[in-house]
Structure 1
Amino acid sequence: MKKWMKAAAAALTVAGVLSAGTTSLAASAQPSKMFINGVYQEDVLVVNDRTMVQLRAFNDPKSFVYSYETATKTIIIHNPVQKMTVHLKNGLKTAEVNGKNVKLDAPVTVKAGRTYIPVRFVTETLGGKVDYDNGAKHIIVRTPTGEEQFKTLKNGDLAEARALAINLTRVSNGTEIAPYGEGFTTTYRFPKGEALRYFISYKGLETYVEINAKGIAEIKWQKDTLGENGEAGKEPKPFGESVTFIDNFMADMLNYGSVDSTGKYTELGVINRYIDKEYANVIIMPIDGETRTDAR
């Protein structure tokens, strides 16, 4: 499988890696919305007025190997690239980094079997990045690989950027309409040469999405084409020329093609994933001759 296909299939996957006991919190509250690698985090904490990242969500197989030492109740993070080993223990306000103690803004906190560490430690020690959208009240955290993907999303390979874009959590700016029709097909439509805005059609619901400068996918418009739930947001102008990817997940088939300014569809390819196993989970395909025009 080509390198970009592997990246597309694995884009923005977040996996759990730790399990431990529980402890009481000095304080807990739900902060502004947090995103890790573009994925919205429903379960975050504030401890001693410090925002805490869920360690299991800060998952980056290329950069970190996590383990748990039962005998000493120690969480171990190994970074083979930076030759760094970190030891964490529940309740402590220090972390051991390559044998040296590093002070934490708030104690390592375990709640309901999930381990949380301060955002500052993630950014300053583990090599992550944190960004803030003060207007939307978003905290945006990216792992080292997530930062690479963010750069690709903004100005990298067009097909890979589109694959990343459709895997981002879609955030509504007001009323969000849920699909209720029947069907097993999802259609994605991008303007020719672009990756940062698209339409998605599913079960009679049309949704228009834009990726903002912080890498968050915002729902700008929705319309229930079946008529029951009406419309929300402002309908965008037509794309003109566009490319379309039609994913029938029940049949495990992918059809893709181009649409001209008059709305005429030209099929460019069909993939049967039952036969072509290398395309498992692939939705976005490169279009011959298409050049990216929306790089930032």
Structure 2
Amino acid sequence: MKKWMKTAAVALTMAGVVNGGSAVKAAPSTTTTQKVFINGIYQDDVLNVNGRTMVQLRSFHDPAKISYTYESSTKTIIINNLVNKITVRLKDGLRTADINGKKIALDAPVTVKRGRTYIPVRFVTEMLGGTTTYDNKSKEVIVRTPTGEEQFQKLRSGDLVNARLAALALPKLNLESDIQPYGEGFTTLYTFPRGEALRYFIEYRGLLTYVEINENGLAEIKWQKDTIGENGETGTEPKAFGESVYFMDNLMADLLHYGTIDSNGESKEQATIKRYTNNESELVLIMPIEGEVRTDAN
């Protein structure tokens, strides 16, 4: 069966606090070797102030649970945690935050640089929810917003449909050079090992991509190959999945075909969804596969 792919990562809109001044991107810190990821997105603009890791406030984006406003008359950033009913007020240069009227000390002062507001990563998760973990081996700081943590739990221990959707929604981290698709077309095929959600193939316009999601919830591109053009190959080609399942998204026809692939590579379609005939199916991408049980949940 011919395979096709479409990039499925959800684009996370980085709406945040607007401060007076230039919107030019601040230079990343040169005093720390730590890599910071928020909801799987690599933060290339991180400061180190007095030994504390500072991230852009706008990067902690969770519109379902957190809202940001800016009070220009007092030059105050106002953060509302809609779930915990917490209101946080911050000002540039202060080492304290006002939380529901109570002063709380910060590890480092609020820093506004080139129109961007930076706050200590520890404060972000302790006061606004979510989680922060540090991987000593990779020297990575892994931050998740409250909604990001919910998605991570679905990814690690949810049912196959929700786990696969969470996997496809993660931004893909390219550890090698980035290869662009060469061919044409609007059809995509996602292939997962039978019973698994944490690794998959995608092919789009002849570009075959293999993705693995590590224990920190980061989606890493391990291998890419341009199968019809001249853009070459990068990474290490993985072993074939053997028994697997597929989801073929035909964008132009607005159809979703899905089914199974046996160990010999023969496919068997389970069903086709005509999304254009049913509003409830408009955004359907992953469906349950008959008889499939998850085997990679933690």
Quick one: structure 1 residues 250 and 117, their matched pair in 2 at CA, closer, same or farther if it must change by over 3 Å?
Answer: farther
The percentage of counterpart residues that share the same residue type is: 62
Shift of 1:12: 7.7
The Cα of 1:82 is off from its aligned counterpart by 2.1
Aligned equivalent of 1:235: 237
Residue aligning to 2:206: 204
TM-score (norm 1): 0.86
- Indicate if the aligned counterparts of 1:50 and 1:105 stay in contact, CA closer than 8 A: yes
Mapped partners of 1:96, 1:176: distance in 2 = 44
The structure, 1 or 2, with the larger RCO (C-alpha pairs under 8 Å, 6+ apart) is 2
Which residue does the alignment assign to 1:167?
A: 169
2:130: which partner in 1?
128
Aligned to 1:22: 21
Cα gap change, 1:192 to 1:27, in 2 (>3 Å): closer
5+ residue gaps, structure 2: 1-7
Q: 1:107 to 1:27 in 2, by over 3 A?
A: farther
Partner of 2:185: 183
Cα 1:265–1:37 shift into 2, 3 Å: same
Cα displacement (A) at 1:14: 4.1
Residue in structure 2 matched with residue 100 of structure 1 by the alignment: 102
Residue 76 of structure 1 is matched in structure 2 by 78
8 Å contact kept, 1:27–1:48: no
1:119 maps to 121
Residue 241 of structure 1 and its aligned partner are, at CA, apart by 1.3
Q: In structure 1, list runs of 5 or more residues that go unmatched.
A: 1-8
State the secondary structure of the residue aligned to 1:160: helix
**Residue of structure 1 in register with 2:5 after alignment:** none
Call closer, same or farther: CA 1:42–1:247 in 2, change over 3 Å.
farther
Greater alpha carbon shift after TM alignment, 228-237 vs 44-53: 44-53
Distance 1:235 1:50, change over 3 A: same
Question: Is it true that 1:254 corresponds to 2:256 in the alignment?
Answer: yes
- In structure 2, how many angstroms separate the alpha carbons of the residues matched to 1:27 and 1:237? 41
TM-aligned CA deviation for residue 138 of structure 1: 2.6
Partner SS state of residue 258, structure 1 = strand
Note the alpha carbon deviations across 1:16-66, whole angstroms, 9 max, x for none. Answer: 03211138xx99515543221122334333334432222222122343232
Q: Distance in 2 between matches of 1:134 and 1:56?
A: 26
- Size of the alignment, in residue pairs? 288
C-alpha distance in structure 1 between counterparts of 2:84 and 2:164, whole Å? 30
Q: Aligned AA for 1:43?
A: D
Q: Compute the displacement of 1:281 (Å).
A: 3.5
Q: 2:65 aligns with which of 63, 66, 70?
A: 63
Partner of 2:273: 271
Counterpart CA distance in 1 for 2:14 and 2:29 is 24
Query: CA shift at 1:202, angstroms?
Result: 1.2
Secondary structure of 1:61's aligned partner: coil
Q: Using the TM superposition, name which of 73-82 and 40-49 deviates more.
A: 40-49
Of 209-218 and 57-66, more deviation after overlay is shown by 57-66
Q: Relative to structure 1, is the Cα distance of residues 275 and 91 closer, same or farther in structure 2, using a 3 angstrom cutoff?
A: farther
Partner in structure 1 of residue 53 of structure 2: 51
Cα separation, 2, equivalents of 1:200 and 1:165: 12
Deviation at 1:192, TM superposition (A): 0.8
Deviation, structure 1 residue 265? 1.4
Which amino acid counterpart does residue 202 of structure 2 have in structure 1?
Answer: I
SS at match of 1:261: coil
The aligned amino acid for 1:129 is T
Which residue does the alignment assign to 2:285?
283
Give 1:123's aligned amino acid: T
Counterpart pick for 1:195 among 173, 194, 197: 197
Q: How does 1:5-16 map to 2 (within 5 A)?
A: 13-16=12-15
Paired residue secondary structure (2:270): strand
